[in-house]
Structure 1
Amino acid sequence: MAQDYVDDGRASAEADELDDLRDSLTSLSQLAMNSLSLPQMLTHIAEFAVRAIPGADGAGLTLEHGDRRDTIVATDDFVVEVDTIQYALGEGPCIFAAAEGRTVRSGSLGGDARWPRFGPRIGRLGVHSALSLPLMTSNETLGAINVYAHAKNAFDDRAMNLGELFAVPAAVSVENARTLANALLLTHQLETALTNRKVIDHAIGIIVSRSGCTSTEAFARLRAMSQRDGIKLTVVAQSIFDDAQRRAQARRTGH
Protein backbone atom coordinates (compact mmCIF):
# COMPACT_ATOMS: atom_id res chain seq x y z
CA MET A 1 0.00 0.00 0.00
CA ALA A 2 2.81 2.39 0.87
CA GLN A 3 4.46 1.79 -2.51
CA ASP A 4 1.14 2.38 -4.27
CA TYR A 5 0.80 5.68 -2.38
CA VAL A 6 4.30 6.75 -3.47
CA ASP A 7 3.60 5.77 -7.07
CA ASP A 8 0.31 7.65 -7.05
CA GLY A 9 2.02 10.71 -5.60
CA ARG A 10 4.74 10.62 -8.25
CA ALA A 11 2.19 10.16 -11.01
CA SER A 12 0.18 13.09 -9.69
CA ALA A 13 3.28 15.30 -9.53
CA GLU A 14 4.27 14.37 -13.07
CA ALA A 15 0.75 15.11 -14.29
CA ASP A 16 0.91 18.53 -12.64
CA GLU A 17 4.27 19.20 -14.30
CA LEU A 18 2.85 18.29 -17.70
CA ASP A 19 -0.08 20.60 -17.05
CA ASP A 20 2.35 23.41 -16.22
CA LEU A 21 4.27 22.75 -19.44
CA ARG A 22 1.06 22.66 -21.44
CA ASP A 23 -0.12 25.93 -19.91
CA SER A 24 3.21 27.57 -20.65
CA LEU A 25 3.17 26.43 -24.26
CA THR A 26 -0.41 27.65 -24.66
CA SER A 27 0.55 31.05 -23.24
CA LEU A 28 3.57 31.11 -25.54
CA SER A 29 1.41 30.54 -28.60
CA GLN A 30 -0.98 33.31 -27.57
CA LEU A 31 1.57 36.09 -27.13
CA ALA A 32 0.45 39.18 -29.02
CA MET A 33 3.72 40.01 -30.74
CA ASN A 34 2.34 43.04 -32.52
CA SER A 35 1.52 44.78 -29.23
CA LEU A 36 4.71 44.00 -27.27
CA SER A 37 8.27 45.24 -27.51
CA LEU A 38 11.07 42.71 -27.94
CA PRO A 39 12.18 42.94 -24.26
CA GLN A 40 8.56 42.47 -23.15
CA MET A 41 8.23 39.41 -25.37
CA LEU A 42 11.43 37.89 -24.06
CA THR A 43 10.44 38.57 -20.46
CA HIS A 44 7.17 36.72 -20.95
CA ILE A 45 9.02 33.78 -22.49
CA ALA A 46 11.34 33.67 -19.46
CA GLU A 47 8.31 33.75 -17.14
CA PHE A 48 6.73 30.85 -19.01
CA ALA A 49 10.00 28.91 -18.66
CA VAL A 50 9.86 29.25 -14.86
CA ARG A 51 6.33 27.84 -14.91
CA ALA A 52 7.21 25.02 -17.31
CA ILE A 53 10.39 23.74 -15.64
CA PRO A 54 10.05 22.04 -12.22
CA GLY A 55 12.33 23.45 -9.53
CA ALA A 56 12.92 26.81 -11.22
CA ASP A 57 13.10 29.94 -9.05
CA GLY A 58 13.87 32.38 -11.84
CA ALA A 59 14.96 32.61 -15.45
CA GLY A 60 16.63 34.96 -17.88
CA LEU A 61 16.96 35.11 -21.63
CA THR A 62 19.78 36.39 -23.79
CA LEU A 63 20.07 36.87 -27.54
CA GLU A 64 23.34 36.42 -29.39
CA HIS A 65 24.43 38.94 -32.03
CA GLY A 66 27.74 37.72 -33.39
CA ASP A 67 30.22 38.24 -30.58
CA ARG A 68 27.74 40.34 -28.58
CA ARG A 69 25.03 39.34 -26.15
CA ASP A 70 22.08 41.69 -26.14
CA THR A 71 18.56 42.03 -24.81
CA ILE A 72 19.13 40.41 -21.45
CA VAL A 73 15.83 40.03 -19.61
CA ALA A 74 15.03 38.31 -16.34
CA THR A 75 12.08 37.34 -14.17
CA ASP A 76 13.82 38.19 -10.87
CA ASP A 77 16.49 40.52 -9.56
CA PHE A 78 18.76 37.67 -8.50
CA VAL A 79 18.79 36.40 -12.10
CA VAL A 80 19.96 39.83 -13.29
CA GLU A 81 22.78 39.68 -10.76
CA VAL A 82 23.78 36.16 -11.76
CA ASP A 83 23.78 36.88 -15.49
CA THR A 84 25.58 40.20 -15.08
CA ILE A 85 28.42 38.36 -13.34
CA GLN A 86 28.36 35.62 -15.97
CA TYR A 87 28.74 37.97 -18.92
CA ALA A 88 31.30 40.15 -17.15
CA LEU A 89 33.49 37.09 -16.51
CA GLY A 90 32.85 35.57 -19.91
CA GLU A 91 32.11 32.14 -18.47
CA GLY A 92 29.07 30.27 -17.25
CA PRO A 93 26.32 27.85 -18.33
CA CYS A 94 24.51 30.24 -20.66
CA ILE A 95 27.65 31.16 -22.57
CA PHE A 96 28.57 27.49 -22.81
CA ALA A 97 25.07 26.43 -23.93
CA ALA A 98 24.87 29.08 -26.65
CA ALA A 99 28.38 28.35 -27.90
CA GLU A 100 27.96 24.56 -27.94
CA GLY A 101 24.30 24.49 -28.95
CA ARG A 102 23.37 22.01 -26.24
CA THR A 103 21.72 21.95 -22.84
CA VAL A 104 23.95 22.62 -19.83
CA ARG A 105 23.04 21.62 -16.28
CA SER A 106 24.69 22.10 -12.92
CA GLY A 107 23.43 21.11 -9.49
CA SER A 108 26.26 22.68 -7.50
CA LEU A 109 27.56 25.84 -9.13
CA GLY A 110 29.88 26.68 -6.26
CA GLY A 111 31.93 23.53 -6.87
CA ASP A 112 31.53 23.19 -10.64
CA ALA A 113 35.01 22.95 -12.16
CA ARG A 114 33.76 24.08 -15.58
CA TRP A 115 33.41 27.66 -14.36
CA PRO A 116 36.05 28.24 -11.69
CA ARG A 117 35.44 32.00 -11.43
CA PHE A 118 31.71 32.15 -12.04
CA GLY A 119 30.58 29.15 -9.96
CA PRO A 120 31.97 30.13 -6.52
CA ARG A 121 30.68 33.71 -6.83
CA ILE A 122 27.19 32.52 -7.68
CA GLY A 123 27.27 29.89 -4.95
CA ARG A 124 27.99 32.62 -2.41
CA LEU A 125 24.83 34.37 -3.61
CA GLY A 126 22.87 31.29 -2.61
CA VAL A 127 22.16 30.15 -6.17
CA HIS A 128 23.30 26.56 -6.63
CA SER A 129 21.52 25.07 -9.64
CA ALA A 130 21.41 26.15 -13.27
CA LEU A 131 19.82 24.82 -16.43
CA SER A 132 20.72 26.61 -19.67
CA LEU A 133 18.77 25.75 -22.79
CA PRO A 134 20.00 26.92 -26.21
CA LEU A 135 17.39 28.57 -28.41
CA MET A 136 18.03 26.98 -31.78
CA THR A 137 16.44 27.27 -35.19
CA SER A 138 17.34 25.37 -38.33
CA ASN A 139 19.81 28.11 -39.25
CA GLU A 140 21.39 29.37 -36.05
CA THR A 141 21.55 29.51 -32.28
CA LEU A 142 19.63 32.61 -31.23
CA GLY A 143 20.75 32.60 -27.60
CA ALA A 144 19.74 30.73 -24.48
CA ILE A 145 17.22 30.54 -21.67
CA ASN A 146 18.94 30.45 -18.29
CA VAL A 147 16.95 28.86 -15.48
CA TYR A 148 18.22 29.06 -11.89
CA ALA A 149 17.30 27.63 -8.49
CA HIS A 150 18.56 28.32 -5.00
CA ALA A 151 18.47 24.63 -4.04
CA LYS A 152 21.22 22.19 -4.99
CA ASN A 153 20.45 19.56 -7.63
CA ALA A 154 17.14 21.26 -8.38
CA PHE A 155 16.92 20.09 -11.99
CA ASP A 156 16.64 16.34 -12.52
CA ASP A 157 16.45 14.55 -15.87
CA ARG A 158 12.71 15.13 -16.07
CA ALA A 159 13.11 18.89 -15.51
CA MET A 160 15.78 18.98 -18.21
CA ASN A 161 13.56 17.06 -20.65
CA LEU A 162 10.61 19.37 -19.99
CA GLY A 163 12.91 22.36 -20.44
CA GLU A 164 14.13 21.06 -23.78
CA LEU A 165 10.52 20.50 -24.90
CA PHE A 166 9.74 24.10 -23.97
CA ALA A 167 12.85 25.50 -25.67
CA VAL A 168 11.84 24.31 -29.16
CA PRO A 169 8.68 26.46 -29.57
CA ALA A 170 10.29 29.17 -27.44
CA ALA A 171 13.03 29.50 -30.06
CA VAL A 172 10.39 29.94 -32.77
CA SER A 173 8.68 32.66 -30.71
CA VAL A 174 12.01 34.42 -30.11
CA GLU A 175 12.87 34.30 -33.81
CA ASN A 176 9.46 35.68 -34.77
CA ALA A 177 9.70 38.41 -32.13
CA ARG A 178 13.18 39.42 -33.26
CA THR A 179 12.11 39.46 -36.92
CA LEU A 180 9.12 41.65 -36.08
CA ALA A 181 11.28 43.99 -33.98
CA ASN A 182 13.78 44.35 -36.83
CA ALA A 183 10.95 45.03 -39.29
CA LEU A 184 9.46 47.69 -37.02
CA LEU A 185 12.89 49.30 -36.59
CA LEU A 186 13.41 49.34 -40.36
CA THR A 187 9.94 50.84 -40.86
CA HIS A 188 10.72 53.55 -38.32
CA GLN A 189 14.05 54.29 -39.99
CA LEU A 190 12.39 54.53 -43.41
CA GLU A 191 9.65 56.79 -42.06
CA THR A 192 12.27 59.02 -40.45
CA ALA A 193 14.29 59.10 -43.65
CA LEU A 194 11.22 60.05 -45.69
CA THR A 195 10.27 62.75 -43.19
CA ASN A 196 13.79 64.13 -43.20
CA ARG A 197 13.86 64.09 -46.98
CA LYS A 198 10.56 66.00 -47.12
CA VAL A 199 11.87 68.67 -44.73
CA ILE A 200 15.07 69.05 -46.76
CA ASP A 201 13.06 69.35 -49.99
CA HIS A 202 10.89 72.05 -48.41
CA ALA A 203 13.98 73.95 -47.26
CA ILE A 204 15.52 73.73 -50.73
CA GLY A 205 12.31 75.09 -52.21
CA ILE A 206 12.33 78.01 -49.77
CA ILE A 207 15.95 78.89 -50.59
CA VAL A 208 15.23 78.66 -54.34
CA SER A 209 12.19 80.95 -54.03
CA ARG A 210 14.13 83.51 -52.01
CA SER A 211 17.38 83.57 -53.97
CA GLY A 212 16.48 82.39 -57.46
CA CYS A 213 19.28 79.80 -57.38
CA THR A 214 18.97 76.24 -58.65
CA SER A 215 17.95 73.36 -56.39
CA THR A 216 21.50 72.00 -56.59
CA GLU A 217 22.90 75.31 -55.42
CA ALA A 218 20.27 75.49 -52.66
CA PHE A 219 21.26 72.06 -51.38
CA ALA A 220 24.93 73.12 -51.44
CA ARG A 221 24.00 76.12 -49.29
CA LEU A 222 22.17 73.90 -46.83
CA ARG A 223 25.15 71.58 -46.57
CA ALA A 224 27.54 74.50 -46.09
CA MET A 225 25.38 75.87 -43.25
CA SER A 226 25.30 72.44 -41.65
CA GLN A 227 29.08 72.07 -41.79
CA ARG A 228 29.73 75.64 -40.67
CA ASP A 229 27.51 75.41 -37.59
CA GLY A 230 28.16 71.74 -36.82
CA ILE A 231 24.45 70.96 -37.01
CA LYS A 232 22.78 68.07 -38.80
CA LEU A 233 21.45 68.86 -42.25
CA THR A 234 17.89 67.96 -41.24
CA VAL A 235 18.06 70.33 -38.26
CA VAL A 236 19.20 73.20 -40.49
CA ALA A 237 16.44 72.41 -42.98
CA GLN A 238 13.82 72.24 -40.22
CA SER A 239 14.89 75.63 -38.86
CA ILE A 240 14.54 77.20 -42.33
CA PHE A 241 11.13 75.59 -42.76
CA ASP A 242 9.99 76.73 -39.28
CA ASP A 243 11.21 80.28 -39.94
CA ALA A 244 9.30 80.37 -43.22
CA GLN A 245 6.15 79.18 -41.44
CA ARG A 246 6.51 81.89 -38.78
CA ARG A 247 6.92 84.58 -41.44
CA ALA A 248 3.87 83.32 -43.35
CA GLN A 249 1.83 83.27 -40.14
CA ALA A 250 2.93 86.81 -39.28
CA ARG A 251 1.88 88.05 -42.74
CA ARG A 252 -1.55 86.43 -42.39
CA THR A 253 -2.18 87.93 -38.94
CA GLY A 254 -0.53 91.26 -39.71
CA HIS A 255 1.97 90.93 -36.86
Structure 2
Amino acid sequence: MAPPFDDRQHDRSSEPLPDSIQLLRSLVRAVDSLASDFDVVELCQQLLEACTEVTGASDAGLLLADQRGELQVLASTNESVRLLGLLQHQGPSLHAYRNKTAASIPDLRADADRWPEFAPAASAAGYRSAYAVPLRLHRDSVGALTILATSAAALGQLDLRIGQLLADIAAVGIAQHVLLAQGATIQAQLPTALNTRVTIEQAKGVLAERGDRDMDRAFQVMRGHARATGRRLSDIAGDIVEGRIDLRADAAD
Protein backbone atom coordinates (compact mmCIF):
# COMPACT_ATOMS: atom_id res chain seq x y z
CA MET A 1 0.00 0.00 0.00
CA ALA A 2 1.32 3.43 -0.88
CA PRO A 3 2.06 5.87 1.99
CA PRO A 4 -0.95 7.90 3.14
CA PHE A 5 -1.51 11.06 1.14
CA ASP A 6 -0.63 14.26 2.95
CA ASP A 7 -1.45 17.67 1.47
CA ARG A 8 1.44 19.20 3.37
CA GLN A 9 3.97 16.85 1.80
CA HIS A 10 2.61 17.02 -1.75
CA ASP A 11 1.80 20.64 -2.44
CA ARG A 12 1.21 20.83 -6.18
CA SER A 13 -1.22 23.74 -6.13
CA SER A 14 0.62 25.38 -9.04
CA GLU A 15 0.02 22.37 -11.28
CA PRO A 16 -2.94 22.86 -13.66
CA LEU A 17 -5.98 20.70 -12.90
CA PRO A 18 -6.97 18.11 -15.51
CA ASP A 19 -10.42 18.76 -16.97
CA SER A 20 -10.53 21.90 -14.84
CA ILE A 21 -13.64 23.29 -16.50
CA GLN A 22 -15.64 20.15 -15.72
CA LEU A 23 -14.41 20.18 -12.13
CA LEU A 24 -15.27 23.85 -11.65
CA ARG A 25 -18.74 23.35 -13.09
CA SER A 26 -19.35 20.47 -10.69
CA LEU A 27 -18.17 22.54 -7.74
CA VAL A 28 -20.39 25.47 -8.73
CA ARG A 29 -23.43 23.18 -8.99
CA ALA A 30 -22.65 21.62 -5.62
CA VAL A 31 -22.20 24.94 -3.82
CA ASP A 32 -25.31 26.37 -5.48
CA SER A 33 -27.43 23.44 -4.34
CA LEU A 34 -26.36 23.95 -0.71
CA ALA A 35 -28.09 27.34 -0.72
CA SER A 36 -31.51 25.78 -1.22
CA ASP A 37 -33.66 22.84 -0.13
CA PHE A 38 -31.43 20.25 -1.80
CA ASP A 39 -31.47 16.49 -2.37
CA VAL A 40 -28.48 15.07 -0.47
CA VAL A 41 -28.31 11.83 -2.49
CA GLU A 42 -28.43 13.70 -5.81
CA LEU A 43 -25.69 16.04 -4.58
CA CYS A 44 -23.49 13.05 -3.75
CA GLN A 45 -24.26 11.44 -7.13
CA GLN A 46 -23.09 14.56 -8.94
CA LEU A 47 -19.90 14.73 -6.91
CA LEU A 48 -19.13 11.05 -7.60
CA GLU A 49 -19.70 11.52 -11.32
CA ALA A 50 -17.38 14.53 -11.29
CA CYS A 51 -14.78 12.46 -9.46
CA THR A 52 -14.69 9.69 -12.07
CA GLU A 53 -14.86 12.11 -15.00
CA VAL A 54 -11.97 14.25 -13.81
CA THR A 55 -9.69 11.49 -12.47
CA GLY A 56 -10.45 8.94 -15.19
CA ALA A 57 -11.49 6.32 -12.63
CA SER A 58 -14.09 3.68 -13.46
CA ASP A 59 -16.39 3.84 -10.42
CA ALA A 60 -16.73 5.55 -7.07
CA GLY A 61 -18.84 5.22 -3.96
CA LEU A 62 -19.62 7.40 -1.00
CA LEU A 63 -19.99 5.67 2.35
CA LEU A 64 -21.36 7.17 5.55
CA ALA A 65 -20.77 5.91 9.07
CA ASP A 66 -23.82 4.85 11.06
CA GLN A 67 -24.23 5.14 14.83
CA ARG A 68 -22.15 1.99 15.36
CA GLY A 69 -19.29 3.35 13.29
CA GLU A 70 -19.98 0.94 10.42
CA LEU A 71 -19.84 2.27 6.87
CA GLN A 72 -22.98 2.16 4.74
CA VAL A 73 -23.28 3.11 1.06
CA LEU A 74 -25.03 6.43 0.52
CA ALA A 75 -24.32 6.87 -3.20
CA SER A 76 -22.38 5.17 -6.01
CA THR A 77 -21.71 5.66 -9.71
CA ASN A 78 -23.26 2.29 -10.46
CA GLU A 79 -26.15 0.63 -8.66
CA SER A 80 -25.14 -2.93 -9.55
CA VAL A 81 -25.34 -5.41 -6.68
CA ARG A 82 -21.71 -6.36 -7.29
CA LEU A 83 -20.38 -2.83 -6.84
CA LEU A 84 -22.55 -2.07 -3.82
CA GLY A 85 -21.41 -5.32 -2.20
CA LEU A 86 -17.76 -4.55 -2.93
CA LEU A 87 -17.99 -1.10 -1.37
CA GLN A 88 -19.15 -2.70 1.90
CA HIS A 89 -15.98 -4.83 2.16
CA GLN A 90 -13.41 -4.04 4.81
CA GLY A 91 -10.99 -2.17 2.58
CA PRO A 92 -9.47 1.26 1.94
CA SER A 93 -12.71 3.05 2.78
CA LEU A 94 -12.61 1.77 6.36
CA HIS A 95 -8.93 2.70 6.61
CA ALA A 96 -9.61 6.24 5.36
CA TYR A 97 -12.56 6.68 7.70
CA ARG A 98 -10.83 5.41 10.84
CA ASN A 99 -7.43 7.03 10.24
CA LYS A 100 -8.74 10.27 8.70
CA THR A 101 -6.26 9.99 5.86
CA ALA A 102 -6.20 8.69 2.30
CA ALA A 103 -5.52 5.05 1.50
CA SER A 104 -4.09 3.79 -1.80
CA ILE A 105 -3.91 0.32 -3.34
CA PRO A 106 -2.08 0.95 -6.65
CA ASP A 107 -2.11 -2.76 -7.53
CA LEU A 108 -4.82 -4.95 -6.03
CA ARG A 109 -3.12 -8.14 -7.18
CA ALA A 110 0.18 -7.25 -5.54
CA ASP A 111 -1.50 -6.16 -2.28
CA ALA A 112 -3.90 -9.09 -1.92
CA ASP A 113 -2.22 -10.30 1.28
CA ARG A 114 -2.56 -6.91 2.94
CA TRP A 115 -6.24 -6.60 2.00
CA PRO A 116 -7.45 -10.23 2.24
CA GLU A 117 -11.16 -9.47 1.94
CA PHE A 118 -11.26 -6.45 -0.31
CA ALA A 119 -8.47 -7.05 -2.85
CA PRO A 120 -9.69 -10.45 -4.19
CA ALA A 121 -13.28 -9.20 -4.43
CA ALA A 122 -12.21 -6.01 -6.22
CA SER A 123 -9.96 -7.92 -8.62
CA ALA A 124 -12.76 -10.36 -9.40
CA ALA A 125 -15.00 -7.40 -10.24
CA GLY A 126 -12.47 -6.21 -12.83
CA TYR A 127 -10.65 -3.48 -10.90
CA ARG A 128 -6.86 -3.16 -10.65
CA SER A 129 -6.45 -0.28 -8.21
CA ALA A 130 -8.46 1.33 -5.41
CA TYR A 131 -8.25 4.50 -3.38
CA ALA A 132 -10.20 6.12 -0.57
CA VAL A 133 -10.28 9.51 1.13
CA PRO A 134 -12.10 10.44 4.34
CA LEU A 135 -15.23 12.56 4.51
CA ARG A 136 -13.79 15.25 6.73
CA LEU A 137 -15.90 17.61 8.79
CA HIS A 138 -13.86 19.86 11.04
CA ARG A 139 -11.72 17.38 12.98
CA ASP A 140 -14.08 14.46 12.50
CA SER A 141 -14.36 11.81 9.84
CA VAL A 142 -17.95 10.85 9.00
CA GLY A 143 -17.34 8.40 6.18
CA ALA A 144 -15.23 7.82 3.08
CA LEU A 145 -15.13 8.29 -0.68
CA THR A 146 -13.85 5.17 -2.47
CA ILE A 147 -12.48 5.37 -6.01
CA LEU A 148 -11.98 2.29 -8.23
CA ALA A 149 -10.06 1.97 -11.50
CA THR A 150 -9.55 -0.83 -14.03
CA SER A 151 -5.82 -0.09 -14.48
CA ALA A 152 -3.00 -0.31 -11.96
CA ALA A 153 -1.68 2.92 -10.40
CA ALA A 154 -4.47 4.82 -12.14
CA LEU A 155 -4.57 7.79 -9.78
CA GLY A 156 -1.77 10.14 -8.81
CA GLN A 157 -1.45 12.49 -5.89
CA LEU A 158 -3.22 15.28 -7.77
CA ASP A 159 -6.17 12.96 -8.43
CA LEU A 160 -6.35 12.18 -4.72
CA ARG A 161 -6.41 15.86 -3.91
CA ILE A 162 -9.35 16.28 -6.26
CA GLY A 163 -11.07 13.32 -4.62
CA GLN A 164 -10.50 14.82 -1.18
CA LEU A 165 -11.91 18.17 -2.29
CA LEU A 166 -15.08 16.51 -3.57
CA ALA A 167 -15.34 14.40 -0.41
CA ASP A 168 -15.09 17.52 1.76
CA ILE A 169 -17.92 19.17 -0.16
CA ALA A 170 -20.02 16.01 0.23
CA ALA A 171 -19.37 16.05 3.98
CA VAL A 172 -20.54 19.67 4.25
CA GLY A 173 -23.67 18.86 2.26
CA ILE A 174 -24.46 15.85 4.42
CA ALA A 175 -23.94 17.87 7.59
CA GLN A 176 -26.29 20.59 6.38
CA HIS A 177 -28.86 17.93 5.53
CA VAL A 178 -28.79 16.10 8.84
CA LEU A 179 -28.32 18.84 11.43
CA LEU A 180 -32.03 19.33 12.00
CA ALA A 181 -32.13 19.88 15.73
CA GLN A 182 -30.36 22.80 17.33
CA GLY A 183 -27.32 21.61 19.21
CA ALA A 184 -27.55 18.05 17.88
CA THR A 185 -24.28 16.32 17.11
CA ILE A 186 -23.53 15.26 13.58
CA GLN A 187 -23.00 11.63 14.60
CA ALA A 188 -26.40 11.50 16.29
CA GLN A 189 -28.17 12.76 13.18
CA LEU A 190 -26.31 10.81 10.45
CA PRO A 191 -29.01 8.09 10.30
CA THR A 192 -31.28 10.73 8.74
CA ALA A 193 -29.21 10.59 5.55
CA LEU A 194 -28.87 6.81 5.68
CA ASN A 195 -32.64 6.40 6.06
CA THR A 196 -32.99 8.24 2.77
CA ARG A 197 -30.82 5.59 1.15
CA VAL A 198 -32.92 2.80 2.66
CA THR A 199 -36.05 4.21 1.01
CA ILE A 200 -34.23 4.47 -2.32
CA GLU A 201 -33.11 0.83 -2.06
CA GLN A 202 -36.70 -0.24 -1.43
CA ALA A 203 -37.94 1.72 -4.43
CA LYS A 204 -35.20 0.25 -6.64
CA GLY A 205 -36.39 -3.20 -5.69
CA VAL A 206 -39.99 -2.35 -6.53
CA LEU A 207 -39.09 -0.95 -9.95
CA ALA A 208 -36.66 -3.73 -10.79
CA GLU A 209 -39.24 -6.39 -9.95
CA ARG A 210 -42.14 -4.74 -11.76
CA GLY A 211 -40.17 -3.60 -14.78
CA ASP A 212 -38.03 -6.73 -15.11
CA ARG A 213 -34.86 -4.62 -15.17
CA ASP A 214 -31.66 -4.53 -13.10
CA MET A 215 -31.15 -2.31 -10.07
CA ASP A 216 -28.96 0.21 -11.86
CA ARG A 217 -31.62 0.78 -14.54
CA ALA A 218 -34.27 1.17 -11.84
CA PHE A 219 -32.17 3.80 -10.08
CA GLN A 220 -31.58 5.75 -13.30
CA VAL A 221 -35.34 5.78 -13.97
CA MET A 222 -36.00 7.25 -10.51
CA ARG A 223 -33.23 9.78 -10.88
CA GLY A 224 -34.44 10.85 -14.31
CA HIS A 225 -37.99 11.31 -13.03
CA ALA A 226 -36.75 13.37 -10.09
CA ARG A 227 -34.82 15.67 -12.40
CA ALA A 228 -37.68 15.98 -14.87
CA THR A 229 -40.18 16.91 -12.15
CA GLY A 230 -37.85 18.98 -9.97
CA ARG A 231 -38.54 16.80 -6.93
CA ARG A 232 -36.23 15.13 -4.45
CA LEU A 233 -35.03 11.64 -5.29
CA SER A 234 -36.02 10.53 -1.78
CA ASP A 235 -39.58 11.82 -2.29
CA ILE A 236 -39.88 9.96 -5.60
CA ALA A 237 -38.61 6.80 -3.91
CA GLY A 238 -41.15 7.18 -1.11
CA ASP A 239 -43.98 7.59 -3.59
CA ILE A 240 -42.92 4.43 -5.42
CA VAL A 241 -42.75 2.39 -2.23
CA GLU A 242 -46.15 3.68 -1.09
CA GLY A 243 -47.68 3.12 -4.54
CA ARG A 244 -48.46 6.79 -5.18
CA ILE A 245 -46.65 6.83 -8.54
CA ASP A 246 -46.02 4.07 -11.08
CA LEU A 247 -42.84 4.23 -13.18
CA ARG A 248 -43.05 0.68 -14.48
CA ALA A 249 -43.37 1.80 -18.08
CA ASP A 250 -40.18 3.87 -17.79
CA ALA A 251 -38.34 1.03 -16.09
CA ALA A 252 -39.26 -1.33 -18.88
CA ASP A 253 -37.89 0.93 -21.66
How does the TM-score come out when normalised to structure 2? 0.57
Matched residue, 2:105: 106
- Of 139-148 and 174-183, more deviation after overlay is shown by 174-183
Distance in 1 separating the partners of 2:79 and 2:167: 22
* Equivalent AA in structure 2 for residue 117 of structure 1: E
Matched residue, 1:65: 66
Question: 1 or 2 for the larger relative contact order (CA 8 Å, sep ≥6)?
Answer: 2
Partner of 2:71, secondary structure, is strand
Q: How many residues align?
A: 168
* Equivalent residue runs for 1:13-92 within 5 Å: 14-31=16-33, 35-52=37-54, 54-67=55-68, 68-77=70-79, 81-87=82-88, 89=89, 91-92=90-91
Matched residue, 1:174: 174
Give the CA deviation at 1:85: 3.2
Say if 1:47 and 1:32 are closer, same or farther in 2 by CA, change over 3 A. Answer: same
* Equivalent AA in structure 2 for residue 144 of structure 1: A
User: In the alignment, is the contact (CA less than 8 A) between 1:27 and 1:48 conserved in 2?
Assistant: no
Give the CA deviation at 1:16: 4.0
Give the CA deviation at 1:71: 4.6
Distance in 2 separating the partners of 1:45 and 1:70: 17
Larger radius of gyration: 1
Distance in 1 separating the partners of 2:140 and 2:45: 21
Distance in 1 separating the partners of 2:77 and 2:35: 19
Partner of 2:172, secondary structure, is helix
Residues 16-37 of structure 1: CA deviation (Å, up to 9, x unaligned):
4333322221121122675544
> What are structure 2's unaligned runs of at least 5 residues?
1-14, 182-188, 193-253
> What are structure 1's unaligned runs of at least 5 residues?
1-12, 186-255
* Equivalent AA in structure 2 for residue 105 of structure 1: S
Say if 1:106 and 1:56 are closer, same or farther in 2 by CA, change over 3 A. Answer: same
How does the TM-score come out when normalised to structure 1? 0.57
* RMSD between aligned residues: 2.8
Give the CA deviation at 1:42: 2.6
* Equivalent residue runs for 1:199-238 within 5 Å: none
Partner of 2:33, secondary structure, is coil
Give the CA deviation at 1:163: 1.9
